Structure 1
Amino acid sequence: MLKRFILPLVLALVLLTSCSTPDSLKNFDSETWKDDSFACAGKRSEMVDDFEKIRKELYGKKEYVLRTVLGRPDSEELLERNQRIYYYYIEPGKQCTDRTALSEANRVEVRIGATGKISEVAYHHPYNATKPE
């Protein structure tokens, strides 16, 4: 009888600990980023230097980590072989009035491979961030 309860408990603990945000990404202000959907309030443009500090840490992480840190993407594109690109705007633009089409405003582009891992994190337009200290 005791074995029936131990296995589900251990499995639940493993799942809970595996879905947490890595420590290297916890200092990023995710709530402010998520609250500025489509970058229309201008908060994300102020956070780009902070994002640059964690950008390389995202490589190799699973999609659920990305969604935990940056939230739901502003837009996404499905590619062949089950690859996806998530778009997160970092400056206001036409997307603030028409959310159905991609805007030319600068944005973060996150490529997710078929295995669900992040393979690329880039900017639509080159961004000159200050070097992290």
Structure 2
Amino acid sequence: MKITTKSNFTGQWERQFWSLHKMMTKNQNSVHFGFLLLTLSIISCQPNTISFNSFEPELWKADAQSCKGYRNEVIMDMEAEFDQFIGMSETELITYLGSPDKTLLYTRGQKFFSYNINCTKEASAKSQLRVRFSALDYVNEVLILD
């Protein structure tokens, strides 16, 4: 005759094992999630570098009075890359184009940066690169005014 008994110890051990397993699985998921968040935040903090083929930002900034002629030479080639300026913040734009020659304030918090393209004293003959910012200080339009 075979007697089988189930001890109370085995049942307690199984319950403890499964509760410990459940707890470890939850902790593993939270550790994985935390690691994923940390990785994404590090990647998102990397600076977004833009390169321009049509002009050199340092030469553009050096020709601040536009009397050296560099701005006038490259402006037509720059026009093909105006879409790269869209969405830039004010500080990002200043790193590429330098401080504007004029800042114009407009309604609803909008503003314009104006960069002279040619060197002339006559206001009617001046060409300008005009950059419009939204109320949130992001570029939303780039124009050449003759």
Structure 1: distance between partners of 2:87 and 2:65: 25
Number of residue pairs the alignment of both structures matches = 106
| Post-superposition CA distance 1:93-120 (Å, at most 9, x none) | 117xxxxxxx330111100111111111
SS in 1 for 2:65: helix
Tell me which of 69, 73, 76 is aligned to 1:49.
76
Structure 1: distance between partners of 2:66 and 2:43: 36
Q: How far off its partner does 1:27 sit?
A: 6.5
Structure with greater helix percent:
2
The list of structure 1 runs, each at least 4 consecutive aligned residues, that deviate by more than 3 angstroms after superposition, is 11-15, 25-28
Structure 2: distance between partners of 1:41 and 1:27: 17
Distance change (3 Å), C-alpha of 1:109 and 1:27: closer
2:109: which partner in 1? Answer: 82
Report if aligned partners of 2:54, 2:74 keep a CA contact under 8 Å in 1: no
Q: Which amino acid aligns with 2:70?
A: K
Q: How far off its partner does 1:81 sit?
A: 2.0
Tell me which of 66, 74, 77 is aligned to 2:93.
66
Is 1:22 the counterpart of 2:43 in the alignment? Answer: no
SS in 2 for 1:39: coil
Distance change (3 Å), C-alpha of 1:57 and 1:91: same
Structure 1: distance between partners of 2:121 and 2:60: 19
The alignment's C-alpha RMSD in Å is 2.4
Of structures 1 and 2, the one scoring higher in RCO (CA 8 A, sep 6+) is 1
- Computing the radius of gyration over CA atoms, which structure comes out larger, 1 or 2? 2
Matched-pair identity in %: 30
TM, length-normalised to structure 2: 0.62
Structure 2: give runs of 5+ residues left out of the alignment.
1-40
